Structure 1
Amino acid sequence: MWTGATFFFAMLVGAPIGICLCIAAIIFLYAEGNTLLFASYPTQMFDSAGNYGLIAIPLFILIGDIMNEGGITGRIVRMALAFVGSLRGGLAYVNLVANMFVASIMGSASSQVAVMSRVMVPEMERQGYRRDFAAGLTVYSGILGPIIPPSIMFVVYSVLAQISVGDMLLSGLVPGLMLAGSFLVLIAILGLFYPYPVNEPQPFPARLRAVRDGLPTLLIPFVIVGSIMGGFANPTEAAAVGALAAFLIGWLWVGDLKVSAMPRILMRAAGYSAIILFLVAAAGVFSWVLTYGRVPQQVAAWIQTVATDPISFMLLVNLILLLIGTVIDGAPALIMTVPILLPIATEIYGIDPFHFGVVVVVNLVLGFMTPPVGLCLYVASAVTGVKPSRLFIVTLPFFFVTVAILVILSVFPFFSTVLSR
């Protein structure tokens, strides 16, 4: 009880989630009165952050930073415009398609929303779209970032679950495409009721030029995903080659990336990586404490009184995680819940860990878009000036479509395991 009270009190006073986890673990050890456990505390932290698979996280972050600095995003947008820009509501489709391409490189929803809000929202507003709709569409397009590989959240989940990082990344590909496809259909349906602008068709030479300029940028996700699927590299090695490809494309092909900017890019990526790795280390200690205190067993006993089969369990988990995701950011929520829920899912209900990982990540990413925290809502609001509450109202159709896809993924594991298996 004291452990939980300490954790929530630290959160209420505004302490970072990693500090909350560490303090709560110390209070538990103090309450137990076992001095030998204190000696194991730093070892548990070090071992949690020492997993080889975690090296992929700073490399994925580095890829995103290089892409932003190197002007790759603009070329991806122009290439998407060449494909779907002439349709009714063309820029809405371009926003989504471009975000899908960017998601295959960045792997972070908040970074993706920040970048694409600056790129797409002013252009959509200039073409006659409402700013709140343009910003809201960009927010929900950002949900693809942590799902379509590469994905930082999938890497963290893989380390927590002690499963293959490569297979976990591949598990997100089909669900990510399902979400993207459902959003495209929703835009088409909304276009029946709202007068979306119609762009002038681009001449064929302009389209060809945009595709020619943009195609080399797709080498980055091809290198990452292709090398993993082909068995040529593990995710960490693929991320390193992807970072090199992003650097060479931004420097030699696009020409906007300057070598002099690399120290700044590396420092920025290192800072963000340090935050995530500290969270993982703190979570390792907290999970160790939970296991010692038999918390997973107590939670499992309660859940079995409510959920009688795997489907009812998954639906219950969705409800719990959706509530958690609205108040706690994705990665910390992942770190807090997986050590408790995953053993219950796999050992009691026989749920595939890759299937469970996809459902958990999609659910928590949905929390990025949902008040009161809604990290991506606030990121888009800061860039565009639209109130977060207005963004949430505008994006309600996308919220319900995402929930529907989430239910499908929960009930039918095939979509999550078809590539990993």
Structure 2
Amino acid sequence: MTPLLFLVLLFGSVPIALVLALTALWYIYDSGNLVLYDSYAQQIFSGVENYGLLAIPLFILTGELMNEGGMTQRLVHAARVFVGGFRGGLAYINLLANMFMAAIIGSAASQIAVMSRAMVPAMTKEGYDPGFSAATTAAGGLLAPVIPPSMLFVIYGVLAQLPIGDLFIAGIIPGLILAGTFFVVVALIGLAKDFPKGEWMTLPEAARALRNALPAFLIPIAIVGGILFGIATPTESAAVASLIAFAVGWLFYREITPRDLGQLFVRTATNSSLVIFMIAAANVFGWVVVYEELPQKLAAFISTVTSDPFTFLLIVNLCLLFVGMLIDGIAALILITPILLPIAMNTYNIDPFQFGVVISLNLVLGLLTPPVGVGLYIASAMSGVRPFTIFAALWPFLLAVTVVLILLSYFPILSTALI
């Protein structure tokens, strides 16, 4: 009865946090072991009693301050210095700016929204196909789950009880590989469609663009540098980054004032509470899953299918691709980590950092794939291009992500080399 209730709630458009919490409640009732009710509230509270979760509202706040403080546009302009003169230069600028933003925002959905407003009109104005412009911007959002800081890595680190800083480091090489494949995709499409040739900035223009963006570059340096060199934890780096973002936007760019903070704090609190409540509900659901020995039963079944770790990861990738099409990436990560991670580690001896990188990248694909495809609708709403038109132009990027996923699944060194 409990699995049936879970499926009915899940496909009945009930918020995933309530699905997890109500399913756990019903399981206790259905099992007849009512003494478990005494531990229910404690399990919910212990799910959010984690210092690492403080990084979530701080990274969200940093992104809000970046958008309001004028740093996004300056980073885009700085990207033009490096790649603006190539054929299809604006498409490269789009991807490079997405790399900069991925090192700051950490959320694919937020990044797609911000960059769609900034880049799609500019690319369309210079003669690029609107569908390709929106697709390139949406694909750039896929860099957010692997280039640190990543919201999915923070959540996975909490669920898997892994150092979040090490997870961030594990995502650096995969993020660079993914960005490189996207650049190759743009180059090949540019040759086929004869993209307009860009123009290199003059030396004074380039120097001015880099000088204007220099304060904004302090933010990813503070986040990634602080973690890489062991100066600060991810949470402390996020706090420092939000302070720098406010100081730069207020004192240097003068596009934000202390009066704006109230509205930013409200938006940050609203978005953060949704994620943190899901994590609390997931903890009590994971408690039920462990109590029922579901990972052990699933592991016994899968081990009859294959004993090869790579084949197991391919099966997981295929299953998660369908899961990500139906459920939000964060919700899916919260749902499947307690079930699949013990199997990956104990049965197949898969490194938890490799597993985290693979499933995080896989699940965020659901942002851009129907029927849910939240990222598609965000890009469509911000650019005015129909979702189907975007998806039709998106398939080369999705193919590139598939290739990268296979590489990450086969070569664990790509995720663990820097740790």
| Alignment partner, residue 196 of structure 2 | 197
SS at match of 1:198: coil
| Alignment partner, residue 163 of structure 1 | 162
TM-score (normalizing by structure 2): 0.99
| Alignment partner, residue 153 of structure 2 | 154
Question: Equivalents in 1 of 2:296, 2:302: separation in Å?
Answer: 10
| Alignment partner, residue 43 of structure 2 | 44
SS at match of 2:193: coil
Cα deviation 1:258-302 (Å, max 9, x = unaligned): 211111101100110000000000000100011111111111111
**Pairing 1:65–2:64 present:** yes
| Alignment partner, residue 24 of structure 1 | 23
Which amino acid in the other structure matches residue 322 of structure 2?
L
Aligned counterparts, 1:156-305, within 5 A: 156-305=155-304
| Alignment partner, residue 123 of structure 2 | 124
Please say if residues 48 and 280 of structure 1, whose CA atoms lie closer than 8 Å, have aligned partners that are also in contact: yes
| Alignment partner, residue 354 of structure 2 | 355
SS at match of 1:13: coil
Return the offset for 1:200.
3.1
Return the offset for 1:7.
1.5
Please say if residues 307 and 316 of structure 1, whose CA atoms lie closer than 8 Å, have aligned partners that are also in contact: no
Question: Equivalents in 1 of 2:81, 2:403: separation in Å?
Answer: 31
Return the offset for 1:372.
1.0
Question: Equivalents in 2 of 1:279, 1:192: separation in Å?
Answer: 45
Question: Equivalents in 2 of 1:24, 1:72: separation in Å?
Answer: 43
Return the offset for 1:55.
0.6
SS at match of 2:211: helix
**Pairing 1:339–2:338 present:** yes
Return the offset for 1:249.
1.2
Which amino acid in the other structure matches residue 192 of structure 1?
L
Return the offset for 1:199.
2.5
Which amino acid in the other structure matches residue 306 of structure 1?
V
Question: Equivalents in 1 of 2:208, 2:268: separation in Å?
Answer: 32
Return the offset for 1:64.
0.4
Question: Equivalents in 2 of 1:285, 1:41: separation in Å?
Answer: 7
Aligned counterparts, 1:2-21, within 5 A: 2-21=1-20
Which amino acid in the other structure matches residue 72 of structure 2?
T
Question: Equivalents in 2 of 1:104, 1:163: separation in Å?
Answer: 20
Q: CA RMSD in A?
A: 0.9
Aligned counterparts, 1:86-97, within 5 A: 86-97=85-96
Question: Equivalents in 2 of 1:245, 1:183: separation in Å?
Answer: 30
Question: Equivalents in 2 of 1:121, 1:384: separation in Å?
Answer: 6
| Alignment partner, residue 34 of structure 1 | 33
| Alignment partner, residue 368 of structure 1 | 367
Q: What stretches of structure 2 of length at least 5 have no aligned partner?
A: none
| Alignment partner, residue 378 of structure 2 | 379
Question: Equivalents in 2 of 1:261, 1:147: separation in Å?
Answer: 31
Question: Equivalents in 1 of 2:369, 2:255: separation in Å?
Answer: 35
Return the offset for 1:202.
2.2
Return the offset for 1:95.
0.3
| Alignment partner, residue 112 of structure 2 | 113
Question: Equivalents in 2 of 1:419, 1:218: separation in Å?
Answer: 23
Please say if residues 76 and 101 of structure 1, whose CA atoms lie closer than 8 Å, have aligned partners that are also in contact: yes
Which amino acid in the other structure matches residue 373 of structure 1?
V
Question: Equivalents in 2 of 1:173, 1:276: separation in Å?
Answer: 24
Question: Equivalents in 1 of 2:100, 2:284: separation in Å?
Answer: 37
TM-score (normalizing by structure 1): 0.98
SS at match of 2:103: helix
Question: Equivalents in 2 of 1:83, 1:250: separation in Å?
Answer: 24
Question: Equivalents in 2 of 1:201, 1:345: separation in Å?
Answer: 49
Return the offset for 1:13.
2.4
Return the offset for 1:193.
0.6
Q: What stretches of structure 1 of length at least 5 have no aligned partner?
A: none
Report the count of equivalent residues. Answer: 419
Question: Equivalents in 2 of 1:254, 1:382: separation in Å?
Answer: 28
Question: Equivalents in 1 of 2:55, 2:287: separation in Å?
Answer: 24
Which amino acid in the other structure matches residue 128 of structure 1?
G
Question: Equivalents in 1 of 2:391, 2:147: separation in Å?
Answer: 23
Which amino acid in the other structure matches residue 215 of structure 1?
L
Question: Equivalents in 1 of 2:226, 2:81: separation in Å?
Answer: 28
Return the offset for 1:46.
0.2
Which amino acid in the other structure matches residue 252 of structure 1?
L
